[in-house]
Amino acid sequence: MGAQEEDAPRPASDITVFGANCTLHGLSHIFLPGGVTLRRLLWAAAFSSSLSIFLYQVADRVIEYYRYPHVTILDEMDSPIMYFPAITLCNYNSFRKSQIRRNDIFWMAGLLGVEQGDFDDFMAALGQPTDNSKFFPSKTFNMLEFVQRTSHNIEEMLLDCKYRGKDCGPENFTTVSVTDTAIRTIL
């Protein structure tokens, strides 16, 4: 009976079970049941050197972080001629309510947040006639024409403009349309 007990395979050690089930690359090749082999020694050397290099780089970066390095470069140049600066004027009110017509509300109700039953109330809030009996919507709608007609004009938005002591005005501005809002930019 003693010989049968000696021939029975020994259960795998805890480290062998861990290595076989671990997803860390290389450990499953190092910790296998059985004795030490050249293949396992090579895997152990590769794993140890990779881990050492990784830990060295982590430590180096942590030490560098706690040194608080900073670089400040200030480069200043004088310019004898300064061009008119680029300035952007935006009006958060994309459309002028005074320019919205009943046909616009018919086509843009969803974007303006107006329900079909609320058209008369919306027109009254805009100070426009609420008579719906003579209204017939157009067959098509031109969004570009709507934006150009209802967007804010630079002549109305620009109250005063001076640059280097000289007066400037709407003629110094160019209109640039971005998506559905008009933005005015100075050249």
Helices (H), the chain: 2-7, 14-21, 27-30, 38-66, 102-112, 119-125, 143-150, 154-157
pLDDT greater at residue 54 or residue 149: 54
pLDDT at 41 over 90: yes
Model confidence at 8, pLDDT cuts 50, 70, 90, reads low
**C-alpha to C-alpha distance for 140 and 30, rounded to whole angstroms:** 75
**Opening angle at CA 171, ends 83 and 153, nearest 5:** 120
**C-alpha to C-alpha distance for 45 and 52, rounded to whole angstroms:** 10
pLDDT digits (tens, 9 = 90+) for 153-184: 788 888 888 887 888 888 888 776 544 343 34
Cβ neighbourhood burial of 25 (10 Å; 0-12, 13-18, 19+)? exposed
pLDDT digits (tens, 9 = 90+) for 95-104: 777 777 777 7
Cβ neighbourhood burial of 73 (10 Å; 0-12, 13-18, 19+)? exposed
Q: Whose CA is closest to 154, among 186, 114, 119, 121?
A: 186
**C-alpha to C-alpha distance for 175 and 89, rounded to whole angstroms:** 10
What lies within 8 Å, CB to CB, of 93 at 6+ separation is 152
Sorted by where each starts, the structural domains of the chain and their CATH numbers stand as: 12-66 (no CATH), 88-186 (1.10.3590)
Mean pLDDT of 9-35: 79
